[in-house]
Amino acid sequence: MLKLNVKDETSRLRAVVLGTANSNGPTPLAEEAYDPKSLEHILAGTYPKNEDMIPEMEAFADVLKKYDVQVFRPEEIADYNQIFSRDIAFVIDDVFVKANILPDRERELDAIQYVIDQVNPSKVVRPPDEVHIEGGDVMLWKDYIFIGTYKGSDYKEFMTARTNMEGVEYIKQLFPHKKVKEFDLVKSKIEARDNALHLDCCFQPVGETKAIIYKQGFREESDYTFLVNLFGKENLFHITRDEMYHMFSNVFSIAPNVVVSERNFTRLNSWLRENNFTVEEIPYAEIAKQEGLLRCSTLPLIRD
């Protein structure tokens, strides 16, 4: 049995599900795109190819194994995108929450059923249908559960709005002992530079006191101010609109002092090293074209 335990974003990682790019299938049609960044690359003819993404994911797997992390991979579904395992489920404390994802992606959950079978069944939950919540919007920090959402009345019109207020309420009821704080995120169907697809596209804690943040990712300045007050401005690394587009806030922590980052994130990686982090740099720029990066590719199961 797997004894699930995830209480934050940065404690020492012991077990994780890492997605796979082995059989991602042909380039989707424009109308099949789930997000504006994928659409941009489909239209430009620069959408990533399997043979370019597989080495990136394997480089990530190699780093995880270097730190003795137990790495599970999804069972392969032919011609099907299985890279972003963060979307389909997440762990809070010792509870495995299946996400209500876009219906087209249900098979991704089936592909990790062999992992779920190793979890105490009483600790596996599935929200009711009206609850939308994806792992990229759920972030744990000390007593808090941070949740990205979209409060606009046009929620249903946005393919990029992934977590609704029913999702926030569901988590509040499931974890009454936690402080649940939601953040209203900026969404766009057409411009990836103005679309915070998930909370981890504009914010993520690193280490024990620091975080990466994009101010314009929040619809309400008060949400941004809340995080500035909580972390202290001196502990925040502010990213630009372009850096947000390249997914600078979507790095992944293996331990409080170890961060996996994209090798082209020069400014961020320098800041991390100045703050005594070990930075494991890997190539991930092709996968980034699908509006997801390192955190999106992982589903942590056990942290110390």
The model scores a pTM over 0.85: yes
Beta bridge partners of 255: 258
pLDDT the model gives residue 161: 63
Residue 38, pLDDT score: 77
The residue ranges of the chain whose pLDDT is under 50 are none
Domains in the chain: boundaries: 13-303
Identify which of 123, 134, 150, 129 has the alpha carbon closest to the alpha carbon of residue 89. 134
Residue by residue, what is the 3-state secondary structure of 98-123? Answer: ECCCCHHHHHHHHCCHHHHCCCCHHH
* pLDDT at residue 105, as a whole number: 79
How many Å separate Cα 169 from the centre of its chain?
20
Tokens representing 154? 């046009």
| Of 275, 168, 250, 186, nearest in space to 224 by CA | 186
pLDDT value, residue 190: 65
Strands (E), the chain: 13-18, 70-72, 89-92, 95-98, 124-125, 138-141, 144-149, 179-184, 203-206, 210-213, 236-238, 252-255, 258-262, 278-282, 298-303
Quote the DSSP letter at residue 212.
E
CATH number of 13-303: 3.75.10.10
Q: What pLDDT sits at residue 160?
A: 58
What's the rounded Cα separation, in Å, for the pair 295 and 198? 11
Integer CA distances (angstroms), 231 to 60, 182, 206, 210, in order = 29, 16, 11, 7
